[in-house]
Amino acid sequence: MSRPSTGPDPTAIDTSRRPFVLVWEVTQACGLACDHCRADATPARHPDELTTEEGKRLLDEARDFGPGQLVVLSGGDPLARPDLTELVEYGTEQGLRMTLTPSGTSSLTPETVQSLGEAGIRRLALSIDGGSPAAHDSFRGEDGSFDQTVQAARAAREAGVPLQINTTVCAQTADELPAIRDLVADLDAVLWSVFFLVPVGRGRILDPVTPERAERILSWLTEVSEEASFGVKTTEAPHYRRVAIQRRRNSTDAPDADGIGRRLGIIAGNGFAFVSHTGDIYPSGFLPKSAGSVRESSLVERYRESDLFQSLRDPDQFSGKCGVCEFRHVCGGSRSRAYAHTGDPLASDPLCDYVPAEYDGPMPAGRASDD
């Protein structure tokens, strides 16, 4: 299966026209029962999931965003769909860059990884939430998940499929981060995606880190990114960009390793879109406010024209401290976390510790207070 050689330059993407990342939650079925599951995953597939034909129409539409559109097939566990390889092949044939976030279960065998690689998968993203089998398996609720994930990671490298490691940051996992960083390097991953917990789905039962601790972790991540062999990105913590810019301003040594200060942030609805297992169009999987359904409307039109998506791309509409912050155009705060705590996706992100100099209003609702 031929793969498009390169994607569009992320710094050149006009995020008012197309998402940098389009996630399709192909199913909510999953054999794991992770503590933090956004999808509230269940063992069985939903009877109203998008069908294979509907999925192919969705991939046709994704192609209309522009050449080399990045599509992430997520879940649940995408491997719960028997047509997964067919969908990967179809998307690849349309010129899409197809990537996958499978769960660390026994179905993720080296043979499966090999066949997904042959189908054209561009990247495999695996979750590791602890630096040891005990820590990871306890978080994931399944003995053996760590070993299966590491085995799949090695299989990805052997199949020539670039590897991404996803990690959830919350009070229960924060101490594991240095050990996970070492593992990411050992597994020869190309990217570490560090997700800061948003309290949706089963994630509501976990404790977020405090804004102070988040600040320390983000600062540490900028150091990791400067030294590591892999890239570092955050999910639902766009103030990583603000921290990196402040660090660079304070140091003549800190390199602009990935152009983080030149690029606008990617947040829910602004460079990011999500289609649920039943076809709802959300700004993010962590911001389950629908702008319509792919069964009834055009994904491209909804992304570009819906009031919801347009408002999320206009930081001047944000309220509270995010609305006056001088970093709002490069950061903007997690719209998903604001929505989870207030029901208003334009409110301020309670995880951010920064207070703009001219701001004297209330702190955002939902700030965690204990480590």
Nearer to ligand SF4, 160 or 362 (CB): 362
Nearer to ligand SF4, 23 or 218 (CB): 218
Q: How far apart are CB 170 and ligand SF4 at their closest, in Å? A: 18
DSSP 8-class letter at 117: H
DSSP 8-class letter at 262: T
Q: How far apart are CB 131 and ligand SF4 at their closest, in Å? A: 28
Q: Check if the beta carbon of residue 201 is closer than 8 Å to that of residue 39.
A: yes
How far apart, in Å, do the first and last CA atoms of the chain sit? 49
CA distance 153 to 163: 7
The residue from 327, 345, 347, 368 that contacts ligand SF4 (CB under 6 A) is 327
The residue from 100, 325, 338, 368 that contacts ligand SF4 (CB under 6 A) is 325
| Length of the chain as a residue count | 371
- CB neighbour list of residue 64: distance below 8 Å, 6 or more residues apart: 300
Within the chain, strands assigned E span: 21-25, 70-74, 97-100, 123-127, 163-169, 191-196, 231-235, 267-268, 271-275, 281-282
Determine, following the binding rule CB under 6 A, whether residue 337 of this chain makes contact with ligand SF4.
no
The residue from 153, 299, 308, 322 that contacts ligand SF4 (CB under 6 A) is 322
The residue from 13, 121, 349, 368 that contacts ligand SF4 (CB under 6 A) is 349
> How many CA within 13 A on the CB side of residue 124?
37
Residue whose structure tokens are 């629908």: 290
Nearer to ligand SF4, 283 or 332 (CB): 332
Determine, following the binding rule CB under 6 A, whether residue 332 of this chain makes contact with ligand SF4.
yes
Q: How far apart are CB 220 and ligand SF4 at their closest, in Å? A: 17
CA distance 260 to 73: 26
Q: How far apart are CB 265 and ligand SF4 at their closest, in Å? A: 8
Q: How far apart are CB 241 and ligand SF4 at their closest, in Å? A: 8
The residue from 333, 345, 346, 350 that contacts ligand SF4 (CB under 6 A) is 333
Determine, following the binding rule CB under 6 A, whether residue 122 of this chain makes contact with ligand SF4.
no
Kindly write out the interface string for residues 221-240 of this chain, putting x where it contacts ligand SF4 by CB under 6 A and - elsewhere. Answer: ------------------x-
- Phi, psi dihedrals of residue 165, rounded to the nearest 5°: -110, 130
Q: How far apart are CB 215 and ligand SF4 at their closest, in Å? A: 10
CA distance 93 to 89: 6
Radius of gyration of the chain (CA): 19
Determine, following the binding rule CB under 6 A, whether residue 313 of this chain makes contact with ligand SF4.
no
What the block records as the tokens of 147 is: 């070993």
Task: State how far the alpha carbon of 159 is from the alpha carbons of 80, 113, 153, 331, in Å.
Answer: 21, 7, 10, 36
Question: What residues pair up with 371 in beta bridges, in sequence order?
Answer: none
Nearer to ligand SF4, 31 or 356 (CB): 356
Say how far residue 242 (Cα) sits from the centre of its chain: 19
Total residues binding ligand SF4 (CB under 6 A): 14
The residue from 124, 331, 347, 368 that contacts ligand SF4 (CB under 6 A) is 331
For ligand SF4, the binding residues (CB under 6 A) are 239, 242, 321-322, 325, 327-328, 331-333, 348-349, 352, 354
